[in-house]
Amino acid sequence: MTVCEYKPGLEGIPAAQSSISFVDGQQGILEYRGIRIEELAEKSTFLETAYLLIWGALPTQEELAEFETEIRYHRRIKYRIRDMMKCFPETGHPMDALQASAAALGLFYSRRALDNPAYIRKAVVRLLAKIPTMVAAFQLMRKGNDPVQPRDDLGYAANFLYMLNEREPDPFAAKVFDACLTLHAEQTMNASTFSARVTASTLTDPYAVVASAVGTLAGPLHGGANEEVIEMLEEIGSVENVRPYLEELFRTKAKIMGFGHRVYKVKDPRATILQGLAEQLFAKYGDDQHYDIAVELEKAIEEKLGHRGIYPNVDFYSGLVYRKLGIPTDLFTPIFAIARVAGWLAHWKEQLGENRIFRPTQIYTGDHQVDYIPITERG
């Protein structure tokens, strides 16, 4: 076997052949099944996009209606799952709650039939339908309230905001939130998708696939960055403090959250769209004092790090949008997960189509022929 050069973080190493999405990091292009993200964010809906990602083509009117109906029907969660979630500590992070709850679905729907299209369809529907309900339920229960039942007359995004805030959202807010879900639905071979594919390759159940991906997304170098961006903007506090704050980050060699990307070496196209959505929300519902800080920070970083290809990524402006929609900071990453379930499921399905278990190699750097020293003789 040829021994390849070791690449930390597997940079540049293809881990799969995929027709789900495409990214050009030099030109700032992202396509789902060949369709530009800008077009989907403007013209599609999250569920239509999820269908496109998972089944490979845009649905007809009938197909979309059927898919939406199935999802509405499966939004409720079993009372045993709800009761299990009630026992989670209210101080626990919602991403940990989501990972545990997603894995728990496997206890109830465990009959695996990975070669049966009806099983695949049901698993896709259940995961897309129930993950938002679980995120909203944990949010209410950690405040000591009962979860709100999903409403069948509301669309996917509106229903989630309704379950979260216990009131029907303004249609504009629901539309913006739906576009945010579309933007976060898929992004080639990122860490959580790789995690999903590795888990899928063992032929385990789809709930374990999604649970492992949720755990991977939680980290601050991946989906968790959106939460840290808001904390950073709050810490900066004023436009005047942007440059002194940045100098201090450079001095300590700390990473600036919401900036940089393994693939994008220009501004992430999703960050551009999210910035536009944030501006629309501010125009309708009032300014956010941290937006000016964010714009100044982007300008300062472009001056200092632009030549190294470090620009805002998807996590930079998403938090400002979510905050305007009344969403608490520690739900930003679970919301990312709600959207990314679509991408993970598309990769799960694709992986099953041409499966070979992931089993990479390593370069051993340890010793050989080491003698065992009895415990009494160890110094």
| Piece in contact with ligand ACO (CB under 6 A), picked from 138-146, 258-266, 282-290, 371-379 | 258-266
Q: Which of 196, 218, 225, 246 binds ligand ACO (CB under 6 A)?
A: 225
178, 205, 261, 347: which one is catalytic?
261
Strands 21-24 and 29-32, sheet pairing: antiparallel
Q: Which two tokens stand for residue 246?
A: 């940045």
Query: Is 261 an active-site residue?
Result: yes
Is residue 262 part of the contact set for ligand ACO (CB under 6 A)?
yes
Q: Which of 94, 147, 169, 223 binds ligand ACO (CB under 6 A)?
A: 223
Q: Give min distance, CB of 366 to ligand ACO, in A.
A: 25
How far is residue 321's CA from residue 324's CA, in Å, rounded to a whole number?
5
Which CB sits closer to ligand ACO, 67 or 344?
A: 344
Q: Give min distance, CB of 193 to ligand ACO, in A.
A: 10
| Total of chain residues touching ligand ACO, rule CB under 6 A | 19
Q: Give min distance, CB of 250 to ligand ACO, in A.
A: 8
Q: Give min distance, CB of 313 to ligand ACO, in A.
A: 4
The secondary structure of 149-202 as a DSSP string is PP-TTS-HHHHHHHHHHSSPPPHHHHHHHHHHHHHHS--SS-HHHHHHHHHHTT
Q: Which of 202, 221, 289, 299 binds ligand ACO (CB under 6 A)?
A: 221
Tell me the angle at which helices 332-353 and 171-184 cross, rounded to the nearest 10 degrees. 50
Contacts with 294 (C-beta within 8 Å, 6 or more apart), sequence order: 233, 316, 317, 320
Query: Is 315 an active-site residue?
Result: yes
Q: Specify the 3-state DSSP secondary structure of 37.
A: helix
Q: Give min distance, CB of 191 to ligand ACO, in A.
A: 7
Which CB sits closer to ligand ACO, 28 or 260?
A: 260
Q: Most distant CA pair in the chain: distance in Å?
A: 76
Q: Which of residues 160-199 bind ligand ACO (CB under 6 A)?
A: 190
Q: Specify the 3-state DSSP secondary structure of 28.
A: coil
Q: Which of 155, 206, 260, 319 binds ligand ACO (CB under 6 A)?
A: 260
Q: Which two tokens stand for residue 119?
A: 């099983």
Give the closest residue to 273 by CA, choosing from 4, 42, 8.
42
State the catalytic residues: 261, 315
User: What does the binding site for ligand ACO look like in residue numbers (CB under 6 A)?
Assistant: 9, 190, 221-223, 225, 255-262, 308, 310, 313-315
